[in-house]
């Protein structure tokens, strides 16, 4: 890592939702930390000044889910390639789901991943621990030890825990140590062989559908168990309006549950699958226009606290197949912020709401020190030009996964500089 410099970020519009700041201010960094706002502190000499005039300066983004594919699937992507993609997208904290090979169900694996992340030194890598051993849904992982080894939360990734008693015990155990569970709501019996939203389009295309009940049945089940056990829980990647309704009702009853949505669910619907476009094959599936609208307003209302990339890079062959056979997922690190800004430009949400849902929101629900520009904090910072217009060229992505359905989308807003712990790790020239 480069020598830590004194950095002066000059003239940018600083947006820091955690501290309710939105104003044009200078920012000063020394020894990797933010040391002052506004006026230059006494005795500060900048080794480097970043001109941020007409740009936004915000906390480095916190992404709740990014598959780096390492270890185990290096033919799809590597930690190094994906960390480079993350910082090009302004992301300075990436949570890595446990479904690597081997699975993150031992402290050694968690340590290895964190260590590799530090070695690469581009973005903070936070492992998510497996909730059950081998993600098998039968026996509990050593959650406490995994937490000690750096796992910030526990999830069974997309492997359903069908045994309700196991889920209850997992929640009881996790609640003893105030550990956070990240839940993927999907009933495998109802999803069955489905590969897209069950509705008019699946009927037209003759593709097996995934009914919205596959999600809502499990959201309802898990909410009942959360209420009983008092565990800290978070629902990942909601796709249906009715799931949001269930969570809103639960929060009204006093449950402290949170939720996130993948950025592509705020832009795409079942109609994008119409020509068997395998780039739009994702799990949970793209749903109806109504669902998309509800998810958008849930972010605005604060019922969904985080937007994530749900980054899943793939090699070309993984998508060059019959729709039902194609592997699900979108390469999303480099489009997370621009697609979020598209929502701002289209007046779906305010810039502060967007930035909160990409930084302070996810950081708060994880309970980590990130996602803010507080004095004294690590200087993880994203600087972007909100006005720059560009067309996404998938061949120019830094991620090894070029599987994006957003190619040739006109985008507005682009990261210019990313700082990690006071080091400039990305600078677009």
Partner 1 sequence: MRPHLQYTNNGKLHHFLSIEGLQKETLQQILTTADKFTQFGQREIKKLPLLRGHTVVNLFFENSSRTRTTFEIAAKRLSADVINLNPDSSSTSKGETLLDTVNILEAMHTDLFIIRHAKSGVAELIARHVPDHVHIINAGDGQHAHPTQAMLDMFTIRQYKGPFNELKVAIVGDILHSRVARSQIHALNSLGVHEIRVVAPNSLLPSQIERLGVHAYNDLQQGLDGVDVVMMLRLQKERMQHAYIPSEQEYFNLYGLTTESLAAAAEDAIIMHPGPINRGLEISSEVADGPQSVILPQVTNGIAVRMAVMSMILGGEGNG
Binding site for partner 1 (CB under 8 A): 198-200, 202-209, 211, 275-276, 317, 319-326
d(CA 252, CA 232): 16
SS3 of 23-75: EEEEEEEECCEEEEECCCCCCCCCCEEEECCCCEEEECEEECCECCCCCCCCC
Respond yes or no: is residue 310 known to be catalytic: yes
Nearer to partner 1, 45 or 193 (CB): 193
CB of 105 to partner 1, least distance (A): 29
CA dist., res. 177 & res. 198, Å (int): 39
The residues, any chain, with a CB within 8 Å of residue 325's CB and separated by 6 or more, are none
Q: What are phi and psi of 11, to 5 degrees?
A: 75, 10
CB of 68 to partner 1, least distance (A): 24
State the Cα–Cα distance between residues 114 and 105, nearest whole angstrom: 14
Closest CB 167 distance from partner 1, rounded Å = 25
Task: Compare residues 326 and 381 and give the one whose CB is closer to partner 1.
Answer: 326
Smallest distance, Å, CB 211 to partner 1?
8
Burial class (CB in 10 A: 0-12, 13-18, 19+), 347: exposed
**Set 26, 105, 310, 380: catalytic member:** 310
Residue whose CB is less far from partner 1, 111 or 324: 324
Instruction: Provide the token pair at 334.
Output: 């480099």
Q: Provide the minimum distance between the beta carbon of 392 and partner 1 in the complex, in angstroms, as a whole number.
A: 19
Q: How does DSSP classify residue 320?
A: S
Pick between residue 173 and residue 323 the one whose CB is nearest to partner 1: 323
Name every residue whose Cβ is closer than 8 Å to that of residue 147 and which is 6 or more positions away in sequence. 129, 177, 179
In this complex, which beta carbon is closest to partner 1, that of residue 324 or of residue 352? Answer: 324
Catalytic residues: 310
């Amino acid at each position: 890592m480069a020598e830590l410099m004194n950095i002066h970020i000059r003239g940018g519009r600083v947006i820091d939702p955690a501290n309710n700041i939105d104003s044009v201010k200078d920012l000063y960094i020394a020894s990797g930390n933010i040391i002052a706002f506004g006026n230059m502190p006494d005795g500060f000499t900048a080794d480097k000044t970043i001109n941020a005039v007409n740009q936004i300066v915000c906390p480095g983004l916190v992404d709740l889910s990014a598959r780096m594919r390492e270890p185990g699937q290096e033919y799809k992507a590597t930690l190094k390639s994906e960390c480079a993609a993350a910082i090009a997208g302004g992301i300075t904290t990436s949570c890595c789901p446990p479904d690597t090979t081997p699975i993150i169900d031992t402290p050694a694996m968690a340590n290895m991943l964190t260590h590799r992340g530090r070695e690469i030194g581009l973005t903070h890598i936070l492992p998510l621990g497996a909730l059950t051993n081998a993600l098998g849904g039968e026996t509990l992982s050593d959650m406490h030890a995994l937490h000690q080894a750096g796992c910030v939360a526990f999830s069974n990734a997309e492997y359903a825990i069908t045994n309700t008693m196991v889920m209850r015990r997992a929640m009881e155990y996790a609640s003893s140590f105030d550990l956070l569970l990240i839940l993927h709501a999907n009933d495998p019996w109802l999803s069955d062989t489905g590969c897209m939203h069950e509705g008019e389009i699946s009927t037209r295309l003759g593709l097996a559908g995934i009914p919205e009940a596959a999600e809502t049945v499990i959201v309802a089940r898990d909410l009942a168990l959360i209420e009983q056990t008092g565990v800290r829980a978070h629902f990942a990647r909601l796709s249906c309006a009715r799931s949001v309704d269930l969570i809103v009702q639960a929060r009204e009853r006093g449950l402290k549950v949170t939720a996130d949505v993948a950025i592509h669910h705020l832009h795409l619907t079942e109609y994008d699958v119409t020509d068997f476009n395998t780039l739009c094959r994702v799990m949970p599936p793209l749903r109806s226009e109504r669902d998309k609208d509800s998810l958008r307003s849930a972010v605005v209302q604060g019922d969904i606290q985080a937007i994530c990339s749900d980054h899943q890079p793939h090699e070309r062959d993984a998508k060059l197949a019959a729709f039902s056979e194609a592997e699900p997922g979108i390469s999303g690190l480099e489009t997370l912020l621009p697609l979020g800004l598209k929502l701002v430009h289209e007046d779906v949400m305010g810039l502060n709401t967007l930035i909160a849902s990409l930084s302070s929101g996810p950081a708060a629900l994880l309970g980590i020190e990130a996602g803010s520009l507080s004095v004294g904090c690590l200087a993880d910072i994203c600087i972007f030009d909100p006005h720059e217009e560009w067309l996404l060229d998938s061949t120019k992505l830094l991620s090894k996964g070029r599987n994006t359905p957003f190619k040739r989308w006109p985008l507005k807003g682009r990261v210019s500089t990313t700082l990690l712990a006071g080091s400039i790790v990305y600078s677009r020239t």
